């Protein structure tokens, strides 16, 4: 997928760097049917101990109908701020299918960073 409006992706990437206190920093951007960014989220820890967290795409699912989200783009940032591979978990993939939302993953080559 050719990603439109790359600056929106970079802004979400930076937000995940700064705000996600988790080991695996993931940001998600929700796009409407016109490709406009209508929502942004990053993963959050739900527990003080290891294991379990609120996925970035789960947060967008909760607001998807109200905001008209048709596509979610996810991006994972590594310890050295590099973009790493990521796919949605099976539960998120199933929920996206149920809601009629497509999920794409960002790769470093997509952003030319």
The whole-number pLDDT of residue 97 equals 96
The whole-number pLDDT of residue 81 equals 72
> How confident is the chain (113 residues) per 10-residue block, as mean pLDDT?
57 62 79 88 70 83 93 84 84 95 79 53
CB under 8 Å to 63, separation ≥6 — which residues?
30, 39, 69
Cβ atoms within 10 Å, residue 20 = 20
The whole-number pLDDT of residue 63 equals 92
Could you tell me the two tokens for 110? 């997509």
Could you tell me the two tokens for 106? 């960002």
The whole-number pLDDT of residue 88 equals 92
The whole-number pLDDT of residue 46 equals 65
The whole-number pLDDT of residue 42 equals 84
Q: What is the pTM for the complete model shown?
A: 0.78
Could you tell me the two tokens for 29? 């951007």
CA dihedral 68, 87, 15, 111 (to 10 degrees): -90
Could you tell me the two tokens for 90? 């099976």
The whole-number pLDDT of residue 67 equals 93
Contact 11, 37 (CB under 8 A): no
């Amino acid at each position: 997928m050719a990603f439109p409006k790359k600056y929106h992706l970079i802004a979400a990437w930076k937000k995940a760097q700064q705000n996600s206190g988790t080991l695996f920093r993931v940001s998600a951007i929700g796009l409407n049917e016109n490709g406009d960014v209508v929502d942004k989220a990053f993963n959050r820890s739900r527990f003080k101990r290891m294991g379990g967290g609120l996925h970035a795409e789960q947060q967008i699912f909760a607001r998807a109908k109200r905001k008209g989200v048709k596509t979610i783009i996810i991006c994972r940032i590594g310890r050295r701020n590099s973009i790493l591979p990521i796919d949605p978990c099976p539960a998120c993939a199933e929920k996206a299918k149920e809601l009629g939302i497509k999920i794409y993953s960002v790769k470093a080559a997509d952003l030319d960073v």
